[in-house]
Chain A
C-alpha cells in the first residue's frame, strides 16, 4: 500500500492536528469571547457617549452666563449702567460685554427675517458674562442685581451643568474600567480553559517532547486553537453588539443622554478593533499558560 502522496498538509495545519480535537467544550471559549465582546461593545458605546456629553457640557461651562434686562424704555439705560457698574465691582468675573442692538438683531434674524424693527419690539438687552477662576458668587450677584436693576435676570447655566459634566466624566471612567475588567476576565477565563486543555493533553505533550518537539511547537498548537476561537467568538459578539447599538433610537437634536447612546462617525470603528484585541488577549493568555505548563515537564 502506498501512502497518500497528495499535497501534504502545511506545517501549521499539522501543528494543530497533533493535539486531539477538544470536543464539545471547545465552543465554551468561543461563547465566552463572544459574550464578553458583546458586553464590551456596550461599555464602549457608554464611554464614547458620556465622553461626548462631558465635552459638550464642559464647552458650555467655558462659555458665558447671560444677564437679560427687560425694563420700561426710560429705565433701560439707567438699569444697564447699574448692571455694568455692579459687574465691574464684582470679583470672579473675567469679562463682560454689552451685546449691541445690531448684534441682537443679527441673532434674531433667522427667526424673524431681516426687516425686524428691533427698536419697536420689547427685545431685552443682553449682557454676556464670562466667569473667572474662582468664579463669582452667583447668589450674591443675583441679589445685588435685584436691588440695583430690578429688570435684570441672571441666566446662569454653569451651576447645573458642572455636576452633570462631572458625572458624565465619571461614567466615561467607569466605562473604560469596565472594558479593562471585561478584557481581564476574558484573559482569566481563556487561561483557565487553556490550562484545562493542557492538563487533559499532558500525555500528548509528553509524547511530543519525547520525539523532539520544542516548547514553541507544542505551545503553537494550543495558542492557535484558542486564538482562533476567541477571534471567532469576538467577531460574532461584536457584530451582535453593533446591531444592538444600531437598533437604539437615533440621537435627537435635544441630545438627551439615553438617546445619545451609540457611535458617531469614526466611533463606529472602535467595535471593529475588539475582535483583533480579543485574539491578542487570547494569544498572550494561552501562550503564557502553555509555557508555564511545559516548564513542569521535561
Chain B
C-alpha cells in the first residue's frame, strides 16, 4: 500500500499549468520535505494531496482510492486519517484553544479523552493556554496548536504547510523535533518549507527525502543540499 500516489498529475488554476506531469509515491512511514520558491506551487501540491483540489489531469490516489471517485463524505472520512497543518493555521476564533484542538473529534461525533488532550497540550507546550482564544496566540503558539490539532485523531499521515513559517530558529527546532517524533511513531510525514537549514537539521536526525518544485515539475532532489 502507498499512502499518497500522484500519477502524471497536472494542475492549473485556469491559466497555464502550475504543476505538470507529477508522478510520485509516498510510502507509509516515510518523511518528505517539499521545497521550492514562493509561488512554485507547494501549497497547491499539498491541497491536491488532501483532496481540496482535484487534478486537472492525471490521477491522485489517497490510501489506494482515486480522489475523483470519492464522494464528499468519503473525502471527509479520508481527512480524518490525514492530519493537516494549513499554511495559515485556520482555527475557529470563537472557541477556546482546547475546543479547537478537539474539533476533529467533535465533528466526527466522538469524544476526546481529557487525558490525551492534556498530554498533547503538554507535548506542544501550550497547557497554560488551553482556555485562550486563537486570536490571542502568538504565531509560534498557533503553529504548535495547529500541529497538535493535526495529530489529535492519531492520523496515518501528516501534511504540514510551512509549519515553521513565522517562528524563530529555536521554535523551528522544537516543531521539527515534534515531527521527527511523530515519524518515529510510524506516521508518514510531508512538510512544505523553504527553510533549507531546517531540512539539513532534519537530515541529521532521520532519513528524510527532499522533493523540489522547479519548472512546474516535482523532482526528487539529490544529496546536494
Taking Cβ atoms with an 8 Å cutoff, the residues of A that contact B are: 1-5, 8, 11, 14, 17-18, 20-21, 203-204, 206-217, 294-295, 298
Q: Are A14 and B104 in contact (CB under 8 A)?
A: no
Task: Tell me whether A207 and B118 are in contact in the complex, defined as CB-CB below 8 angstroms, given that A1-B130, A8-B111 are known contacts.
Answer: no
Question: What are 22 contact pairs spanning A and B, CB under 8 A?
Answer: A1-B128, A1-B130, A2-B118, A3-B130, A4-B114, A5-B114, A17-B95, A18-B103, A18-B106, A204-B92, A207-B90, A207-B91, A210-B79, A210-B86, A210-B90, A212-B76, A212-B153, A213-B107, A214-B72, A214-B77, A215-B72, A294-B72
Contacts of A294 in B (CB 8 A): 72
Q: A1-B130, A3-B114, A5-B114 are in contact. Are A212 and B94 (CB under 8 A)?
A: no
CB distance from B63 to the nearest CB of A (A): 14
Q: How far is the CB of A232 from chain B (nearest CB, A)?
A: 22
The complex places the Cα of A214 from the Cα of B75 at a distance, in Å, of: 8
The count of chain B contact residues (Cβ–Cβ below 8 Å) is: 35
A207 to B89, CA, bound (A): 9
**If the complex has contacts A11-B109, A210-B79, are A3 and B118 also in contact, measured as CB distance less than 8 A?**
yes
Is A18 in contact with B77, judged by CB distance below 8 angstroms? no
- Considering only residues 71-97 of chain B, those with a C-beta below 8 Å from chain A are 72-73, 75-77, 79-80, 84, 86, 90-95
Nearest CB in chain A to that of B100: its residue = A207
CB distance from B52 to the nearest CB of A (A): 5
Contact B114 A212 (CB under 8 A): no
B76 adjacent to A209 (CB under 8 Å): yes
User: Does B198 have its Cβ within 8 Å of any Cβ on chain A?
Assistant: no
Known: A210-B84, A214-B77, A215-B73. 14 other contacts (CB 8 A): A3-B98, A8-B111, A11-B109, A20-B92, A20-B93, A21-B94, A207-B90, A208-B107, A210-B86, A212-B77, A212-B104, A212-B107, A217-B109, A298-B75
Minimal beta-carbon separation of B109 from chain A (angstroms)? 4
Judging by beta carbons under 8 Å apart, are B76 and A213 in contact?
yes
User: How many angstroms from the CA of A295 to the CA of B73 in the assembled complex?
Assistant: 11
Closest 9 CB pairs of A and B: A213-B107, A212-B80, A212-B79, A20-B94, A214-B76, A211-B104, A11-B109, A207-B90, A298-B52
**A18 x B107 contact (CB < 8 A):** yes
Residue B202 CB within 8 A of the other chain: no
Q: Does B108 contact A (CB under 8 A)?
A: yes
Question: What chain A residues lie within 8 Å of B117 (beta carbons)?
Answer: 3
Minimum CB distance partner of B153 in chain A: A212
Which residues of chain A are near B98, meaning CB under 8 Å?
3
Alpha-carbon distance between A203 and B89 when the two chains are bound, in angstroms: 12
- Out of A203, A211, A216, name the residue touching B79 (CB < 8 Å): A211
Q: Report the separation of the CA atoms of residues A11 and B76 in the bound assembly, to the nearest whole angstrom.
A: 18
Q: Which residues of B contact A214 (CB under 8 A)?
A: 72-73, 76-77, 107
- The reply to whether A203 and B90 contact each other, CB–CB distance below 8 Å, is yes
Nearest neighbor of A5 in chain B, beta-carbon distance: B114
Contact B118 A217 (CB under 8 A): no
- Minimum CB–CB distance from B110 to chain A (whole Å) comes to 9
Q: How far is the CA of A174 from the CA of B41 in the complex (A)?
A: 62
Which residues of B lie under 8 Å from residue A217 when comparing CB positions? 107, 109
Closest to B127 in A: A1
A295 to B51 Cα, complex, angstroms = 14
Chain A nearest CB, measured from B77 CB (Å):
7
Residues of B within 8 A of A5 (CB): 114
Q: Are B130 and A211 in contact (CB under 8 A)?
A: no
Which of these, A8, A20, A206, A212, contacts B108 with CB under 8 Å? A212
Complex contacts, B106 vs chain A, CB 8 Å: 11, 14, 18
Q: Which residues of chain B have C-beta atoms less than 8 A from A1's C-beta?
A: 127-128, 130
A21 to B92, CA, bound (A): 12
Question: How far does the Cβ of A9 sit from chain B's closest Cβ, in whole Å?
Answer: 9
Shortest distance from the beta carbon of B64 to any chain A beta carbon, whole Å: 19
Q: Which A residues are CB-close (under 8 A) to B153?
A: 212
